[in-house]
Amino acid sequence: MVYISHFRRFAPTTIHNFLFSMAKFMLVFLCAFLATSLFSNLLAQEAKAYNEKEGANLVKFYADNPLPCPVSFQITFTEANNICGGKDRLVVIEPNVNRQFLFSIKPCNLQQKWSYYWKYTLQYGDANKETYNANISYSLPFPKGTSYKVGQGFMGNFSHKDTYAVDFTMPEGSEVCAMRDGIVVQAKGDSDKGGPDISFDKFANVIRIYHPDGTIGMYLHFQKDGVNVSVGDKVKRGQVIGYSGNTGFSSRPHLHVEVYSASPTGKKTIEPKFKINGAPIVIKQGAVLQNGE
Protein backbone atom coordinates (compact mmCIF):
# COMPACT_ATOMS: atom_id res chain seq x y z
CA MET A 1 0.00 0.00 0.00
CA VAL A 2 1.28 3.45 -0.96
CA TYR A 3 0.66 6.54 1.19
CA ILE A 4 0.85 10.06 -0.27
CA SER A 5 -0.15 13.39 1.28
CA HIS A 6 -0.47 16.95 -0.04
CA PHE A 7 -1.22 20.40 1.37
CA ARG A 8 -2.41 23.52 -0.45
CA ARG A 9 -3.41 27.02 0.71
CA PHE A 10 -4.73 29.79 -1.53
CA ALA A 11 -5.76 33.44 -1.08
CA PRO A 12 -7.80 35.87 -3.24
CA THR A 13 -5.86 36.57 -6.44
CA THR A 14 -4.03 39.87 -7.00
CA ILE A 15 -1.75 41.01 -9.84
CA HIS A 16 1.27 40.72 -7.56
CA ASN A 17 0.32 37.23 -6.49
CA PHE A 18 -0.32 36.27 -10.10
CA LEU A 19 3.14 37.35 -11.30
CA PHE A 20 4.83 35.72 -8.35
CA SER A 21 2.86 32.54 -8.97
CA MET A 22 3.88 32.52 -12.64
CA ALA A 23 7.56 32.79 -11.70
CA LYS A 24 7.20 29.92 -9.28
CA PHE A 25 5.29 27.94 -11.90
CA MET A 26 8.11 28.30 -14.44
CA LEU A 27 10.68 27.16 -11.88
CA VAL A 28 8.55 24.21 -10.82
CA PHE A 29 7.89 23.33 -14.47
CA LEU A 30 11.62 23.28 -15.24
CA CYS A 31 12.34 21.09 -12.22
CA ALA A 32 9.46 18.79 -13.10
CA PHE A 33 10.68 18.47 -16.69
CA LEU A 34 14.17 17.49 -15.57
CA ALA A 35 12.82 15.06 -13.00
CA THR A 36 10.53 13.50 -15.58
CA SER A 37 13.44 13.00 -17.96
CA LEU A 38 15.53 11.33 -15.28
CA PHE A 39 12.86 9.08 -13.82
CA SER A 40 10.46 8.43 -16.71
CA ASN A 41 11.27 4.72 -16.83
CA LEU A 42 10.49 4.32 -13.14
CA LEU A 43 7.30 6.39 -13.20
CA ALA A 44 6.00 4.50 -16.23
CA GLN A 45 5.16 1.58 -13.94
CA GLU A 46 3.58 3.58 -11.10
CA ALA A 47 -0.08 4.35 -10.52
CA LYS A 48 -0.70 7.73 -8.92
CA ALA A 49 -3.31 10.34 -8.06
CA TYR A 50 -2.56 14.03 -8.47
CA ASN A 51 -4.22 17.41 -8.89
CA GLU A 52 -3.88 20.46 -11.11
CA LYS A 53 -5.02 24.02 -10.48
CA GLU A 54 -7.08 25.64 -13.25
CA GLY A 55 -7.33 29.37 -12.93
CA ALA A 56 -7.49 30.95 -9.50
CA ASN A 57 -10.36 29.03 -7.98
CA LEU A 58 -10.58 25.49 -9.32
CA VAL A 59 -8.53 22.35 -8.64
CA LYS A 60 -9.09 19.14 -10.59
CA PHE A 61 -8.00 15.69 -9.43
CA TYR A 62 -6.80 12.95 -11.78
CA ALA A 63 -5.35 9.43 -11.63
CA ASP A 64 -2.99 7.40 -13.83
CA ASN A 65 -2.87 3.62 -13.87
CA PRO A 66 -0.35 2.19 -16.34
CA LEU A 67 -0.55 -1.23 -14.66
CA PRO A 68 -2.24 -4.34 -16.12
CA CYS A 69 -4.65 -4.61 -13.17
CA PRO A 70 -7.18 -2.33 -11.48
CA VAL A 71 -5.92 -0.12 -8.67
CA SER A 72 -7.90 1.43 -5.82
CA PHE A 73 -7.30 4.89 -4.39
CA GLN A 74 -8.69 5.80 -0.99
CA ILE A 75 -8.64 9.61 -1.05
CA THR A 76 -8.97 11.42 2.26
CA PHE A 77 -9.24 15.11 3.09
CA THR A 78 -7.88 15.61 6.60
CA GLU A 79 -8.32 19.38 6.33
CA ALA A 80 -10.77 21.36 4.19
CA ASN A 81 -11.17 25.06 4.96
CA ASN A 82 -13.68 26.95 2.80
CA ILE A 83 -13.72 24.03 0.34
CA CYS A 84 -16.63 22.76 -1.76
CA GLY A 85 -16.27 19.23 -3.19
CA GLY A 86 -13.59 17.96 -0.83
CA LYS A 87 -15.07 14.74 0.50
CA ASP A 88 -13.42 11.40 1.18
CA ARG A 89 -13.94 8.75 -1.49
CA LEU A 90 -12.81 5.37 -2.80
CA VAL A 91 -11.96 5.37 -6.50
CA VAL A 92 -11.16 2.29 -8.62
CA ILE A 93 -9.19 2.87 -11.83
CA GLU A 94 -9.19 0.24 -14.56
CA PRO A 95 -5.92 -1.05 -16.12
CA ASN A 96 -3.93 1.01 -18.61
CA VAL A 97 -5.68 4.33 -18.01
CA ASN A 98 -3.98 7.71 -18.22
CA ARG A 99 -5.23 10.99 -16.77
CA GLN A 100 -8.67 9.88 -15.65
CA PHE A 101 -10.64 12.77 -14.17
CA LEU A 102 -11.85 12.04 -10.63
CA PHE A 103 -13.45 15.20 -9.19
CA SER A 104 -12.84 18.89 -8.59
CA ILE A 105 -12.85 21.27 -5.64
CA LYS A 106 -13.25 25.04 -5.32
CA PRO A 107 -13.62 27.67 -2.60
CA CYS A 108 -17.12 28.08 -1.22
CA ASN A 109 -16.50 31.79 -0.59
CA LEU A 110 -14.26 33.53 -3.15
CA GLN A 111 -13.52 36.38 -0.75
CA GLN A 112 -11.89 34.17 1.87
CA LYS A 113 -8.71 32.13 2.03
CA TRP A 114 -9.06 28.43 1.31
CA SER A 115 -6.83 25.50 2.08
CA TYR A 116 -6.89 21.74 2.11
CA TYR A 117 -4.76 18.76 3.08
CA TRP A 118 -5.29 15.51 1.23
CA LYS A 119 -3.71 12.10 1.08
CA TYR A 120 -4.32 8.77 -0.60
CA THR A 121 -3.52 5.12 -0.14
CA LEU A 122 -3.14 2.88 -3.18
CA GLN A 123 -3.95 -0.81 -3.41
CA TYR A 124 -3.44 -3.25 -6.26
CA GLY A 125 -6.82 -4.67 -7.28
CA ASP A 126 -10.46 -3.60 -7.09
CA ALA A 127 -11.37 -2.76 -3.49
CA ASN A 128 -15.08 -2.95 -4.36
CA LYS A 129 -14.84 -6.57 -5.50
CA GLU A 130 -16.23 -8.77 -2.73
CA THR A 131 -15.90 -12.28 -4.15
CA TYR A 132 -13.01 -14.47 -5.28
CA ASN A 133 -12.47 -18.13 -6.10
CA ALA A 134 -12.20 -19.69 -2.64
CA ASN A 135 -11.82 -23.20 -4.10
CA ILE A 136 -8.76 -22.58 -6.25
CA SER A 137 -5.66 -24.57 -5.32
CA TYR A 138 -2.14 -23.17 -5.02
CA SER A 139 1.16 -24.88 -5.75
CA LEU A 140 4.10 -24.63 -3.37
CA PRO A 141 6.35 -21.74 -4.46
CA PHE A 142 9.40 -23.83 -5.30
CA PRO A 143 10.31 -26.41 -7.97
CA LYS A 144 9.19 -30.02 -8.10
CA GLY A 145 11.43 -32.33 -6.08
CA THR A 146 12.68 -29.65 -3.68
CA SER A 147 11.87 -29.43 0.03
CA TYR A 148 11.83 -26.48 2.43
CA LYS A 149 10.92 -25.91 6.05
CA VAL A 150 8.03 -23.71 7.16
CA GLY A 151 9.79 -21.08 9.26
CA GLN A 152 6.57 -19.25 10.15
CA GLY A 153 3.02 -20.22 9.29
CA PHE A 154 -0.38 -18.58 9.13
CA MET A 155 -1.00 -16.10 11.98
CA GLY A 156 2.59 -16.58 13.22
CA ASN A 157 3.63 -14.76 16.39
CA PHE A 158 6.72 -13.01 14.98
CA SER A 159 5.43 -11.02 12.01
CA HIS A 160 2.31 -12.82 10.75
CA LYS A 161 -0.16 -11.81 13.44
CA ASP A 162 -3.64 -11.64 11.90
CA THR A 163 -2.11 -12.51 8.51
CA TYR A 164 -2.42 -15.58 6.32
CA ALA A 165 1.23 -15.68 5.24
CA VAL A 166 3.95 -18.33 5.08
CA ASP A 167 7.72 -18.07 5.43
CA PHE A 168 9.77 -20.84 3.83
CA THR A 169 13.34 -21.06 5.12
CA MET A 170 15.59 -21.39 2.09
CA PRO A 171 19.17 -20.47 1.17
CA GLU A 172 19.79 -17.33 -0.85
CA GLY A 173 19.61 -18.02 -4.57
CA SER A 174 16.97 -20.76 -4.32
CA GLU A 175 14.47 -20.85 -7.19
CA VAL A 176 11.05 -19.33 -6.48
CA CYS A 177 8.03 -20.40 -8.55
CA ALA A 178 4.61 -18.89 -9.19
CA MET A 179 1.89 -20.47 -7.06
CA ARG A 180 -0.76 -19.74 -9.66
CA ASP A 181 -1.26 -18.33 -13.18
CA GLY A 182 -1.45 -14.56 -13.43
CA ILE A 183 0.10 -11.33 -14.66
CA VAL A 184 2.96 -9.47 -12.97
CA VAL A 185 1.94 -6.07 -11.57
CA GLN A 186 5.04 -5.31 -9.47
CA ALA A 187 8.62 -6.49 -9.87
CA LYS A 188 11.32 -4.91 -7.72
CA GLY A 189 14.78 -6.45 -7.47
CA ASP A 190 17.27 -3.60 -7.02
CA SER A 191 17.80 -3.74 -3.25
CA ASP A 192 20.65 -5.33 -1.33
CA LYS A 193 19.55 -4.18 2.13
CA GLY A 194 17.91 -6.26 4.82
CA GLY A 195 17.72 -6.60 8.59
CA PRO A 196 15.63 -7.76 11.57
CA ASP A 197 13.86 -4.44 12.06
CA ILE A 198 10.67 -3.01 10.54
CA SER A 199 12.67 -0.04 9.25
CA PHE A 200 14.11 -2.38 6.59
CA ASP A 201 10.64 -3.25 5.28
CA LYS A 202 10.81 -0.77 2.39
CA PHE A 203 13.99 -2.42 1.08
CA ALA A 204 12.39 -5.79 0.33
CA ASN A 205 12.61 -7.03 -3.23
CA VAL A 206 9.13 -8.10 -4.23
CA ILE A 207 6.96 -9.62 -6.95
CA ARG A 208 3.17 -9.24 -7.03
CA ILE A 209 1.09 -11.33 -9.41
CA TYR A 210 -2.53 -10.47 -10.22
CA HIS A 211 -4.74 -13.56 -10.50
CA PRO A 212 -7.81 -13.97 -12.78
CA ASP A 213 -10.21 -13.79 -9.81
CA GLY A 214 -8.83 -10.41 -8.68
CA THR A 215 -6.58 -11.63 -5.87
CA ILE A 216 -2.87 -10.82 -5.57
CA GLY A 217 -0.02 -13.22 -4.85
CA MET A 218 2.89 -11.49 -3.10
CA TYR A 219 6.43 -12.90 -2.90
CA LEU A 220 9.04 -11.14 -0.75
CA HIS A 221 12.78 -10.96 0.09
CA PHE A 222 14.33 -11.82 -3.31
CA GLN A 223 18.08 -11.39 -3.56
CA LYS A 224 19.48 -8.37 -5.40
CA ASP A 225 18.93 -8.75 -9.15
CA GLY A 226 17.06 -11.95 -8.34
CA VAL A 227 13.76 -11.05 -10.02
CA ASN A 228 13.25 -12.79 -13.37
CA VAL A 229 10.00 -11.13 -14.46
CA SER A 230 8.77 -7.66 -15.40
CA VAL A 231 5.50 -5.80 -15.01
CA GLY A 232 3.07 -7.04 -17.66
CA ASP A 233 4.58 -10.52 -17.97
CA LYS A 234 2.09 -13.40 -17.95
CA VAL A 235 3.29 -16.26 -15.76
CA LYS A 236 2.15 -19.84 -15.35
CA ARG A 237 1.84 -21.95 -12.22
CA GLY A 238 5.24 -23.51 -11.41
CA GLN A 239 7.23 -21.03 -13.53
CA VAL A 240 10.48 -19.80 -11.97
CA ILE A 241 10.01 -16.08 -11.28
CA GLY A 242 13.13 -15.30 -9.23
CA TYR A 243 15.64 -16.28 -6.57
CA SER A 244 15.15 -16.06 -2.83
CA GLY A 245 17.20 -13.76 -0.64
CA ASN A 246 17.31 -11.82 2.60
CA THR A 247 16.24 -8.28 1.68
CA GLY A 248 13.79 -6.10 3.57
CA PHE A 249 12.46 -6.87 7.05
CA SER A 250 14.17 -10.23 7.42
CA SER A 251 16.25 -11.92 10.11
CA ARG A 252 17.44 -14.80 7.92
CA PRO A 253 17.27 -15.92 4.27
CA HIS A 254 13.73 -16.99 3.47
CA LEU A 255 10.77 -16.57 1.13
CA HIS A 256 7.59 -14.89 2.33
CA VAL A 257 4.39 -15.57 0.37
CA GLU A 258 0.79 -14.46 0.86
CA VAL A 259 -2.42 -14.09 -1.11
CA TYR A 260 -4.73 -11.15 -0.55
CA SER A 261 -7.49 -9.03 -2.00
CA ALA A 262 -8.01 -5.28 -1.89
CA SER A 263 -10.83 -3.99 0.30
CA PRO A 264 -12.19 -0.59 1.40
CA THR A 265 -10.34 -1.00 4.71
CA GLY A 266 -7.04 -2.15 3.19
CA LYS A 267 -5.32 -5.38 2.25
CA LYS A 268 -7.23 -8.52 3.30
CA THR A 269 -5.16 -11.72 3.31
CA ILE A 270 -6.74 -15.00 2.23
CA GLU A 271 -5.84 -18.51 3.37
CA PRO A 272 -4.51 -20.21 0.21
CA LYS A 273 -5.31 -23.89 -0.25
CA PHE A 274 -1.96 -25.49 -1.04
CA LYS A 275 -2.16 -28.86 -2.75
CA ILE A 276 0.24 -31.44 -4.18
CA ASN A 277 -1.22 -33.64 -6.91
CA GLY A 278 -4.70 -32.71 -5.71
CA ALA A 279 -4.05 -33.57 -2.05
CA PRO A 280 -4.32 -30.71 0.48
CA ILE A 281 -1.23 -29.68 2.47
CA VAL A 282 -1.27 -28.69 6.12
CA ILE A 283 0.85 -25.57 6.70
CA LYS A 284 2.42 -26.01 10.12
CA GLN A 285 5.42 -24.18 11.53
CA GLY A 286 8.47 -26.46 11.55
CA ALA A 287 7.10 -28.85 8.92
CA VAL A 288 9.30 -29.73 5.94
CA LEU A 289 7.26 -29.71 2.73
CA GLN A 290 8.29 -31.32 -0.54
CA ASN A 291 6.84 -30.26 -3.84
CA GLY A 292 5.82 -33.42 -5.65
CA GLU A 293 4.07 -31.79 -8.63
* Mean pLDDT score, 4-28: 48
Q: Which of 81, 29, 77, 76 is nearest to 52 (CA)?
A: 29
For residue 157, give Cα distances in angstroms to 17, 116, 153, 163, 249.
57, 41, 9, 10, 15
> pLDDT tier at 15 (50, 70, 90 boundaries)?
very low
User: What band does 6 get if pLDDT is binned at 50, 70 and 90?
Assistant: low
In this predicted structure, the answer to whether residue 75 has a pLDDT above a threshold of 90 is: yes
Q: Are residues 231 and 257 in the same domain?
A: yes
For the segment 138-162, what is each residue's pLDDT rounded down to a tens digit? 999 999 999 999 988 775 566 667 7
Domain assignment present for 93? yes
CATH number at residue 67: 2.60.40
Residues 249/204, Cβ–Cβ less than 8 Å? yes
Q: 59 and 51 in contact (C-beta within 8 Å)?
A: yes
Residues 194 and 86 in one domain: no
Q: Are 278 and 293 in contact (CB under 8 A)?
A: no
| Low-confidence winner among 68-72, 92-96, 158-162, 289-293 (lowest mean pLDDT) | 158-162
Taking the C-alpha atoms of residue 203 and residue 12, their distance in angstroms, rounded to an integer, is 44
Q: For residue 16, is pLDDT > 60?
A: no
Residue 156 pLDDT: 58
- Asked if residue 119 belongs to a domain, the reply is yes
77 and 143 fall within a common domain: no
In a domain, 130, yes or no: no
Return the pLDDT at 45. Answer: 67
216 belongs to a structural domain: yes
- Looking at the predicted structure, is the pLDDT value of residue 89 above 70? yes
Could you tell me if 117 and 144 lie in one domain?
no
Statement: residue 83 has pLDDT above 70: yes
Instruction: For residue 194, give its domain range.
Output: 137-290
pLDDT in tens, 187-236: 999 999 999 999 999 999 999 999 999 999 999 999 999 999 999 999 99
pLDDT band at 285 (very low <50, low <70, confident <90, very high): confident
d(CA 262, CA 70): 10
Could you tell me if 145 and 284 lie in one domain? yes
Which pTM does this prediction carry?
0.83
